[in-house]
Homo-oligomer: A and B are copies of this chain.
């Protein structure tokens, strides 16, 4: 029996077949552990092509590890990381950034999950005052946790602000490929050319089994990173199996094809949802997430048929995520169930 596809998260999906093949091919005899192997060399070369030869890339097991260790490379404990209140590092990592970097997170409330230079300015007002944490990093998620995408101009404005104030720019790119697909821009344009200093580049949500990458553009920050990774418990012994996945994802256009597909499914879902009475989209659809308000009394009924998460209980706002393997049929089924549930009710609200 085929398990049904949910809209709960892109990490509910499995692994793309071409990634599975790459894993199988890598399972051939012995290679040196911890990254000194040809698969890792190939994956690093693929990153070099996308991000430039000055980028250093370090593979780690998972996304929280990538974010936290990247931030640790950028900070001392008396410094602070400024982020959106909705940032994954702020709400979804169980305090890992604070515990592992020692830093305070300064979280700013935003309507759309995006930071902008203006609201960052007050954070700098106590620069040099020993009583207060010193902002050192601006951390943005691209796309944001609300599915919105920073334009290249917006990212550049943030990096210019950061650098002119002695700060660094960190990007949580767990779904960076989706942002690239949306903008039609290269990974390099989105990151190093827009002034990003350290990037978490996501593989798992784009069709990999596990594995994320910390990409460091400033050589001074990468110098000790192999120790930070190992002490941070994120040096995989059978590294080749992460490397082979990344090589398969990035060597051709799989990264982009997967992300483009998921984005297209999200736009289709949004288009169809807009036609359902009593359903309101709450964020522009720029990646593979659709945020919508459903009538509160129907949410749990719908969830029983297709699992997804309620984003905000107060406002009955839900998050629907598409994946590399979402089908048009999935969309029609979901929207059909939503429509049916709402309209067949005597009191649709």
Contacts and interface: CB of A to CB of B under 8 A. Distances in A.
Interface of A: 2-6, 8-9, 11-15, 20, 23-24, 26-34, 61-65, 68, 76-80, 91-96, 98-100, 102-105, 125, 130-134, 204-205, 209-210, 224, 226-238, 241, 307, 313, 323
Contact of A230 (B28, B29, B96, B228): B96
The prevalent SS among residues of A at the interface is: loop
Contacts of A236: 61-62, 210
B238 A94 contact: no
A214 to B, nearest CB: 12
B231 A234 contact: no
B104 A233 contact: no
A33 B33 CA distance: 28
Contacts of A12: 30-33
A63 to B, nearest CB: 7
A53 to B, nearest CB: 22
B237 A11 contact: yes
A209 B241 contact: yes
Contacts of A237: 9, 11, 62-63, 204-205, 210
Given A4-B30, A94-B78, A131 B230 contact: yes
A8 B36 CA distance: 13
Nearest to A97: B104
A231 B103 contact: no
A62 B241 contact: no
Contact of A31 (B3, B29, B79): B3
A34 B12 CA distance: 9
Contact of A104 (B61, B77, B95): B95
A233 B68 contact: yes
Nearest to A35: B130
A309 to B, nearest CB: 10
A-B residue pairs, 3 tightest by C-beta: A3-B29, A61-B61, A99-B102
A163 B63 CA distance: 35
A131 B2 contact: no
Contacts of A79: 95
A238 B14 contact: yes
21 contacts: A6-B30, A8-B30, A9-B33, A14-B26, A15-B241, A20-B23, A30-B323, A34-B131, A61-B61, A61-B65, A61-B210, A62-B233, A68-B233, A76-B228, A94-B132, A95-B231, A100-B233, A131-B230, A205-B237, A209-B241, A210-B237
Given A3-B28, A95-B102, 16 more contacts: A12-B31, A14-B238, A34-B130, A64-B235, A65-B233, A76-B224, A76-B227, A77-B98, A77-B99, A78-B94, A80-B95, A94-B131, A96-B232, A130-B226, A131-B230, A210-B238
Contact of A29 (B14, B62, B76): B14
Contacts of A65: 61, 233-234
Nearest to A29: B3
B231 A209 contact: no
Given A68-B233, A228-B78, A130 B94 contact: yes
A296 B94 CA distance: 43
Contacts of A78: 94-95, 99, 224, 227-228, 230-231
Contacts of A226: 130
